[in-house]
Amino acid sequence: MSKDYEVVIGLEVHAELKTQTKIFCSCSTAFGAEPNTQTCPICAGFPGVLPVLNKKVVDLAITTGLALNCEIPNICKFDRKNYFYPDSPKAYQISQFDMPICINGYLDIDVEGRRKRIGINRVHMEEDAGKLVHQGDITTTPFSLVDLNRCGIPLLEIVSEPDMRSAQEARAYMEKLRAMLLFAGVSDCKMQEGSLRCDANVSVRPIGQVEFGTRTEIKNLNSFRALERAIEYEAARHIEAIKGGETLVQETRTWDEEKQLTRSMRSKEEAHDYRYFPEPDLLPLKISQEWVNSIRAAFPEMPEQAQKRLVEEYGLPEYDAQILTLTPDSLAFFDQCLKQYPDAKTISNWMMGEFNRLLNQNNMEIGESKVTAAGLVQMLKSIDDGTISGKMAKMVLEEMFATGNCPEVIIREKGLVQISDEGTLLTLIDDIIKTNPKVVEDYKSGKEKAFGFFAGQIMKATQGQANPTLVNKLLKDRLNHIQ
């Protein structure tokens, strides 16, 4: 990025709330049901029906507001946002316009060791729309099918201030926000399934300029990586345009994941006039201090508190603490391990290392894996008591990951028992020393490699089952005693 320009980013995040039922009717919110099986006259927008607000949605919105350090005004209201589209059965969305449930919050992010505060402008409640299914492109498809299952699923829209100055900061904000929402139990935040969605507002201005540059809104950002890449692309496009003397237009653009670029969707002139007005079917919502207090009292541990605990109580490095608290599942896994195994750093090393590698390789979350905390602890104990080596443990973990079997079974079935019998090992060592006098000479003349050769031969002879620590000790002993 050019040093003369500064990119300004604000994010609008939609999080699907974790409720059993929809926001204004009692239909189920379960994901993946047959089309139009989770609908009723209310969410399908039939004549004469009325919305009734799901209280759980308000609970979760308040929880989010508290997690994001927001003010929660004692009254908020719902508004109608009007637009025609077949996925919107009432042709308006019930949302909150000028009196949202939460305002004026913030979120602290850490980028390259520096802490930065990102303002939260507002958090508001609204209903999701349905889904259109068509053949190929909507402009040429012979027909469109409408699935209203998603209609009326509760959403929170979380709008940041334009406080971010790089794609990296935007990503850090999203990651942190996701962790907060997960810890607060508000949303399951699956970007691929669309339960966490993000639009980015991007503008660029010369360093030192106070006014914002022309802003574009980027949609269809389905992963952290897409968010980062799209912002980088868009910022570069703006800078190029400014340098080239072009006028940027305020517009909505979409991120093309395949081509890795943004494309224009609609300009400001084509923008909808949503004709917001107060929703007459719902009374203004009063939120008492008692309501807020009761939610505050039942508040779960948030990532920052957990990090502090990990560092202060268990002596973990800051970095470990941050990684382990990216999701509540990961923290819970760690905490469970720690109950049965005293060495926090060893647990952390395995979780962040080998286990994490396997998860990433398989594109899985910790909660989806077959490896249990008890299993990992059993494995660690087997290393400690010398039953298996660290290297074997990696194989065991891989097997645990694949089959879900416990380490004991895997060790037995694979015959992975470590040879720690000194007599057996010494016989082997003596044998190898005897048959390789030249290498012994090399060793004596100071060639370190020679030691490795002997160790390797022993591991080979035992098919990797020799206790490496013991082999090293015995081998050194024998070699040093040869005249």
Q: Give contact residues for Zn ion (rule: CB under 5 A).
A: 25, 27, 40, 42-43
Angstrom distance (rounded) from CA 28 to CA 52: 15
Phi, psi of 244 (to 5 degrees): -80, 5
Q: Which is nearer to Zn ion, 42 or 184 (CB)?
A: 42
Q: Which is nearer to another protein, 103 or 146 (CB)?
A: 146
We find the least distance from the C-beta atom of residue 73 to another protein, in angstroms, to be 20
Q: Which is nearer to another protein, 51 or 213 (CB)?
A: 51
Q: Which long-range contacts (CB under 8 A, 24 or more apart) does 186-191 make?
A: 186/15, 186/17, 186/18, 186/60, 186/63, 186/64, 186/67, 186/156, 187/15, 187/16, 187/17, 187/18, 187/60, 187/156, 188/16, 188/18, 189/15, 191/222, 191/223, 191/224
Q: Which among another protein, Zn ion, none contacts residue 281 (Cβ within 5 to 8 A by kind)?
A: another protein
DSSP for 241-304, written as a single string? HHHTTPPP--EEEEEETTTTEEEEEEETTT------EE-TTSPPEE--HHHHHHHHHTPPPPHH
Contact with another protein (CB under 8 A) among 92, 255, 334, 341: 92
* C-alpha neighbours within 13 Å on the C-beta side of residue 289: 0
Q: Which among Zn ion, another protein, none contacts residue 53 (Cβ within 5 to 8 A by kind)?
A: another protein
Of residues 183-202, those binding another protein (CB under 8 A): none
Angstrom distance (rounded) from CA 255 to CA 447: 58
Q: Which among Zn ion, another protein, none contacts residue 27 (Cβ within 5 to 8 A by kind)?
A: Zn ion
Q: Which is nearer to Zn ion, 27 or 392 (CB)?
A: 27
Angstrom distance (rounded) from CA 88 to CA 90: 6
Q: Which is nearer to Zn ion, 40 or 265 (CB)?
A: 40
Report which secondary-structure segment, H or E, holds 337. Answer: helix 328-340
We find the least distance from the C-beta atom of residue 101 to Zn ion, in angstroms, to be 22
- Give me 140's structure tokens: 């040429």
User: Judged by CB under 8 A, does residue 80 bind another protein?
Assistant: yes
Q: Which residue has the tokens 């316009």?
A: 97
Site size for another protein, by CB under 8 A?
29
We find the least distance from the C-beta atom of residue 127 to Zn ion, in angstroms, to be 10
Q: Which is nearer to another protein, 47 or 113 (CB)?
A: 47
Of residues 34-53, those binding another protein (CB under 8 A): 41, 44-53
Binding characters for another protein, 260-279, by CB under 8 A (x = yes): -------------x-xxx--
The overall longest dimension of the chain from CA atoms, in Å, is 101
Binding characters for another protein, 134-153, by CB under 8 A (x = yes): ----------x-x-------
We find the least distance from the C-beta atom of residue 24 to another protein, in angstroms, to be 9
Q: Which is nearer to another protein, 248 or 282 (CB)?
A: 282
For the beta sheet containing 114-127, the strands, ordered from the edge strand earlier in sequence to the opposite edge, are 102-111, 114-127, 154-160, 5-16, 196-206, 216-221, 251-256, 261-267
Contact with another protein (CB under 8 A) among 89, 154, 213, 303: 89
Q: Which is nearer to another protein, 284 or 317 (CB)?
A: 284
Which residues of the shown chain bind another protein in the complex (CB under 8 A)?
41, 44-53, 80, 82, 84, 86, 89-92, 144, 146, 273, 275-277, 280-283
